[in-house]
Structure 1
Amino acid sequence: MKHFASLAFALFLSAQVFGQSYKLGDKVADFTLKTSTEQSASLSDFANAKAVVIVFTNNNCPYAKLYENRLVGLAGNYSSKGVQFVFINPSIGSGDGSETLADMAVKKYNFPYLADEGQKLSGRFGATKTPEAFVLKNNNGEFILKYKGAVDDNPQLESGVKSFFLKNVIDEVLNDKTVTVLDKRPTGCLIKRY
C-alpha cells in the first residue's frame, strides 16, 4: 500500500509539471518563433488585432491538407475584420518524419507560418493534433484563450459541414458575445513529440 501511495503521488507531481498547458480563459504569454525565411514573428506583433487564430498544422498530415483551403478562406474573410491568422508547424525538428524550414517555405500564405522548433509552444497550448485551432481574444492588449479544438465537424468534405465551430467562435469574439462552444475535440494527425 505504501508503494501504491508513492506511485500515485509521483504521477500527480508529474501531471502537475508536464500538464501546464493553457486553459480556456488564460492569458497567453507573448512568444517569438521563426518564419520559413528565418525571420521572427511574435504574438505581440499583432497587438492591433481584435483576435488571433493560431492553427497548429503541417505540410504532411492528410487532415491538414483537407482543411488548408478552408482555413486560408477563413483567414481571407476575416483579415479585414481585425482577425489575424497564424499557422504554426510543430513538426519542425530532428525526429523521424519531421519537416524543415525549406519544406515550410513552399507554402505561400498571406499570414505568418511559423516553426515551433522544440515543440515548446504546441506543448504550452496543449495541442495534440494537426490541424488544431486556438482563438485568442485581444482584451486591452492581453490575449485571452477563448476556444481550442476543431475547425468544423467534417474534415473530409467541406460541403458536408453542419457545424462551423471556428467560424462561429470568431463571430462571437468579434461581437463581444459569450463563446458558446469552448472546446471541440479536433480530428487530425497526432502531433509526434520529439
Structure 2
Amino acid sequence: MRKMSTLLLMFALSLVAMAQVQVGDVAPKFKLLNTDYTEVALEDYNEQEGVILIFTCNHCPYAKFYEERIKQLHSAYKSQGFPVVAINPNDSVKYKEDGFSYMVDKGYEFPYLLDNEGIYKAYGANKTPHVFLLLKSGADNFKVGYIGAIDDSPQDASEVQLKYLENAIKAVKKGTAINPTLTKAIGCSIKPF
C-alpha cells in the first residue's frame, strides 16, 4: 500500500510538472539570454499592453515558413504595444542550426532568447512555432489571452484565411472577447536541452 501511495504521489507531481498554462492564467515569468548578449525578462515589458511570445527555432521547416510573418507581426504591432519576443527551446547539440551563434546571425529586431532553463515547459509549448499572446494584468503580471497558431496556413502565407493571432490582438484593442482563444499549433516538436 505504501508503494502504491508513493507511485500515486510521483504521478501527481509529474502531471504538475508537465502542466501547461491555460487561457486566463498568469504567464510564467522568465529571464533569458538574448542574441545581443543581454538578459531579457518578461518584467521588461511591464509598460506594454501585451507581448507576442513565440516559441520557435532555426532548423524547423515550419519555423522557417513563419519567419517573415513573425518579423511582420513585430513591425505591425510593436508600436501598438504588442512586441514580439521569440524563444528558442531546442537543444543545439542535437540540432546545430539551433545554436546560439546561428540565432545571433538571424539579426532579428526583436529579442530572440535561448531557453536553456526549460521555460517552454512552464508554458506547455510543444511545437515550433507555438504562440502565447500575453496581456498586461496588474502592475507586474501578464495573463495568457490566446494560445496556438499564428494563422491557418503554416506552409504558405499567400493561402492564409484566418489570422488567429492578429484577430486576437485586434479584439483586445477593440475591447471585445478573443475568439478563438485556443487553436492547434502546427510545427515541429520541441527538441529540448
Q: CA deviation at 1:92?
A: 4.3
Q: Which residue of 2 aligns with 1:167?
A: 166
Secondary structure at the aligned position of 1:166 is classed as helix
Secondary structure at the aligned position of 1:117 is classed as coil
- Structure 1 residue aligned with 2:136, among 135, 138, 156? 138
Identity %, equivalent residues: 33
Secondary structure at the aligned position of 2:71 is classed as helix
Q: Deviations over 1:116-168 (max 9, x none)?
A: 013x2101000000011100011233200011111111111111111111110
Q: Which segments of 5 or more consecutive residues in structure 1 lack a partner in the other structure? A: none
The correspondence of residues 1-194 of structure 1 with structure 2, limited to 5 A, is 9=8, 12-93=11-92, 95-98=93-96, 99-118=98-117, 120-141=118-139, 142-194=141-193
Q: CA deviation at 1:105?
A: 0.4
- 8 Å CA contact 2:28–2:122 kept in 1: the answer is no
Secondary structure at the aligned position of 1:145 is classed as strand
Q: CA deviation at 1:193?
A: 3.0
Q: CA deviation at 1:12?
A: 4.3
Q: Deviations over 1:61-120 (max 9, x none)?
A: 110010111111111011111111101100145x412532111100111111111013x2
- 8 Å CA contact 1:26–1:144 kept in 2: the answer is yes
Q: CA deviation at 1:51?
A: 1.0
| Alignment RMSD | 2.1
* Aligned length, in residue pairs: 190
Which whole-Å CA distance do the structure 2 matches of 1:44 and 1:16 have between them?
27
Letter in 1 for 2:138: N
Secondary structure at the aligned position of 2:40 is classed as strand
Which whole-Å CA distance do the structure 2 matches of 1:24 and 1:108 have between them?
31
- 8 Å CA contact 1:92–1:115 kept in 2: the answer is no
Letter in 2 for 1:121: I
Q: CA deviation at 1:39?
A: 1.1
